[in-house]
Amino acid sequence: MIKVFYQPRKSGKTKKMIEMSNKLNQTIIVNNRTMANLIAAQAEDMGLIIHRPIAVMDYINLINADGFNHRKLESVLIDEAQMVLSTLLKSRITAMTITEWNDYEVGEGVEYDALDELNDVKNSLAEEVTLLKQLLTLKDNEIDRLNKTVDRLASKE
C-alpha cells in the first residue's frame, strides 16, 4: 500500500517519513544529498534510528551497480516526491496525476475529502452571508416602514 501525505509545507510530512522509516526499517529517498543530511540530522534529534537517507541520483547509481542486492531496497519511502521526480527527470514538473488504486491511501493530513469539505464550508458561509444580507435588507425595510408610521402619527398630532 502506498500512503500519500498531502499537506502544506512545514506541517510534519518529513517527520512522518522519519517515523515510518524507523518503524518499517525502510530507506528514505530524497531530492539531493543536502536533504539526505538534513533528514539524518532530524532523525538523530528525534532520537530515532533510521537507514541513512539517500539522494535519488545516488540511489539510481546504487541499484545499477554490479552485485547490488535489490531485495535490500525492495520498499522505500520518498520525501517530497515531486522534487525527487523532477530531479530524476531533469525537468520542472508542470502537472502530474496519481491513480487511485486499492493499494493507495491518503495519509493523515489534509485529505482530498477534507479539501472538498473545506469548499463545502466556504459555500455554506457564502450562503449564510447572502441570508444575512437579505435579513439586513428586510430589517432596513421594516425600519423605514416604522419610521413612516411614526411620521404619520406625529403629523396627526
The residue ranges of every structural domain in the chain are 2-110, 111-157
Give the range with max mean pLDDT: 5-19, 36-50, 59-73, 109-123. Answer: 36-50
72 compared with 10, residue with greater pLDDT? 10
CATH 3.40.50.300 fits 2-110, yes or no: yes
Strand stretches in 31-128, DSSP E: 54-55, 76-78, 104-106
Q: Which amino acid is at 133?
A: K
Confidence of residue 153 (pLDDT cuts 50, 70, 90): confident
E strands, the chain, in order: 2-4, 27-30, 54-55, 76-78, 104-106
Pull the grid cell for residue 142: 421594516
The pTM score is 0.61
Beta-carbon contacts of 53 under 8 Å, excluding residues fewer than 6 positions away, are: 21, 27, 28, 29, 30, 35, 36, 39, 40, 79
- Quote the percentage of the chain above a pLDDT of 70: 79
